[in-house]
């Protein structure tokens, strides 16, 4: 008897955090064939995916024709876009200066265009997609959800302005097959902001310093362990819904969990946006993330939206394991913090 034809999922950013996790999870299911898209098909991460059984294809988010070619025959597409890569790249910063705009706005423009390219290409294969076949990583619209208070939280709006705001009016058939997956704060973000997460005090204790209400519940995600499981679970749900991946936990409780894991003494201190910017070496990065933490206080990281969680998916009878913050922290190495 011939093998049942596998469903093909095309995964963008397949060698990155989110895309890599999604590719690896779907490769565990023999019902799926995985085509991973990446710029560098010769990288160690690309080779590792091949060894797991994935087809690895070169594609550029700036080249819509390469995406159309890579999407041929897709039954599902996982989309993820990237703000921080153009934000930090020296050539992009030089281009932003040449254009007379901030690197923050430049990265917004790049991510929006790349998101539109993905949507434009996905629309050409909408007929081969399954009912819930367009799975997109996104965030809330800070501009809309804050009623205009946050006009330049660029790495949120650069996602929301495309998924769903560009897709829904332009491609209603594609939108009907779309699920929006919001991702929480990564539990590894301390690697980017060590001085804000773990400010060493004179007595040897630590202080976590953000412009965010210490008791506000915010979603926290172990991106490498849980994104794949979450997206795989969402693929089994009906289309047209929006989700939040991660455990909701306040930063005060995050700090307490870290203290339990490491045995260190740590307290949480709410600071101002200006204080966080001053304490961040890259001031543009400091402003972008400080606005995010402030937005997370009010209206909230999720924008106050009613988003489905892992618990809701589990209530629908679908397995959706989520790593707790404490479990995630326990698997990380913080020894360098104590050797200074």
The pLDDT of residue 4 is 66
The pLDDT of residue 27 is 98
Per-residue confidence band for 1, with pLDDT thresholds at 50, 70 and 90 = very low
Per-residue confidence band for 204, with pLDDT thresholds at 50, 70 and 90 = very high
Q: Can you point out the beta strands (E) in 146-245? A: 178-183, 185-186, 199-200, 206-210, 218-221, 242-245
- Closest CA relative to residue 113, chosen from 184, 185, 60: 60
Average pLDDT over residues 330-340: 90
Reported pTM: 0.96
Average pLDDT over residues 36-59: 96
pLDDT per residue over 179-202, tens digit each? 999 999 999 999 999 999 999 999
Per-residue confidence band for 339, with pLDDT thresholds at 50, 70 and 90 = confident
pLDDT per residue over 143-185, tens digit each? 999 999 999 999 999 999 999 999 999 999 999 999 999 999 9
Per-residue confidence band for 340, with pLDDT thresholds at 50, 70 and 90 = low
Distances (CA, A) of 206 to 197, 213, 256: 9, 18, 11
Per-residue confidence band for 2, with pLDDT thresholds at 50, 70 and 90 = very low
The pLDDT of residue 168 is 98
On the question of pLDDT at 46 being above 80, the answer is yes
* Mean pLDDT of the residues in the chain: 96
The pLDDT of residue 226 is 97
Per-residue confidence band for 11, with pLDDT thresholds at 50, 70 and 90 = very high
pLDDT per residue over 207-247, tens digit each? 999 999 999 999 999 999 999 999 999 999 999 999 999 99
The pLDDT of residue 118 is 98
Tally Cβ neighbours within 10 Å of residue 238.
9
CB–CB of 23/77 below 8 Å? no
Range 161-167 contact pairs with CB under 8 angstroms and sequence separation of 24 or more? 161/112, 161/115, 162/81, 162/112, 162/115, 162/116, 162/118, 162/119, 162/138, 163/79, 163/115, 163/119, 163/136, 163/137, 163/138, 164/138, 165/141, 166/115, 166/116, 166/119, 167/119, 167/136
The pLDDT of residue 184 is 97
On the question of pLDDT at 95 being above 70, the answer is yes
- Closest CA relative to residue 190, chosen from 85, 325, 302, 322: 325
Average pLDDT over residues 115-130: 98
On the question of pLDDT at 31 being above 70, the answer is yes
């Amino acid at each position: 008897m011939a093998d049942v034809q596998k469903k093909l999922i095309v995964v963008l950013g397949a060698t990155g955090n989110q895309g890599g996790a999604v590719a690896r999870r779907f490769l565990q299911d023999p019902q799926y064939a995985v085509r991973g898209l990446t710029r560098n098909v010769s990288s160690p991460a690309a080779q590792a995916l091949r060894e797991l059984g994935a087809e690895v294809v070169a594609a550029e988010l700036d080249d819509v024709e390469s995406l159309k070619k890579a999407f041929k025959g897709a039954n599902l597409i996982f989309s993820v876009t990237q703000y921080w890569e153009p934000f930090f790249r020296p050539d992009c910063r030089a281009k932003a200066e040449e254009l007379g705009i901030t690197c923050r706005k430049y990265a917004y423009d790049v991510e929006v265009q790349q998101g539109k390219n993905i949507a434009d290409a996905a629309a050409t294969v909408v007929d081969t997609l399954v009912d819930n076949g367009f799975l997109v990583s996104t965030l809330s619209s800070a501009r809309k959800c804050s009623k205009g208070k946050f006009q330049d939280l660029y790495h949120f709006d650069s996602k929301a302005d495309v998924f769903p705001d560009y897709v829904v009016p332009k491609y209603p058939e594609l939108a009907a097959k779309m699920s929006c997956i919001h991702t929480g704060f990564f539990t590894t973000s301390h690697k980017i902001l060590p001085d804000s997460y773990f400010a060493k005090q004179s007595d040897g204790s630590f202080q976590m310093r953000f412009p965010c209400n210490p008791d506000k519940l915010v979603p926290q995600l172990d991106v490498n362990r849980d994104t794949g499981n979450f997206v795989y679970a969402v693929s089994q749900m009906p289309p047209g819904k929006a989700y939040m991946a991660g455990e909701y936990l306040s930063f005060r409780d995050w700090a307490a969990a870290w203290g339990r894991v490491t045995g260190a003494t740590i307290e949480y201190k709410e600071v101002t946006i200006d204080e966080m910017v001053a304490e961040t070496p890259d001031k543009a990065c400091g402003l972008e993330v400080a606005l995010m933490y402030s937005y997370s206080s009010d209206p909230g990281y999720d924008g106050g939206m009613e988003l489905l969680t892992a618990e809701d998916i589990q209530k629908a009878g679908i397995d959706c394991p989520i790593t707790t913050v404490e479990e995630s922290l326990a698997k990380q190495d913080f020894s360098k913090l104590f050797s200074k």
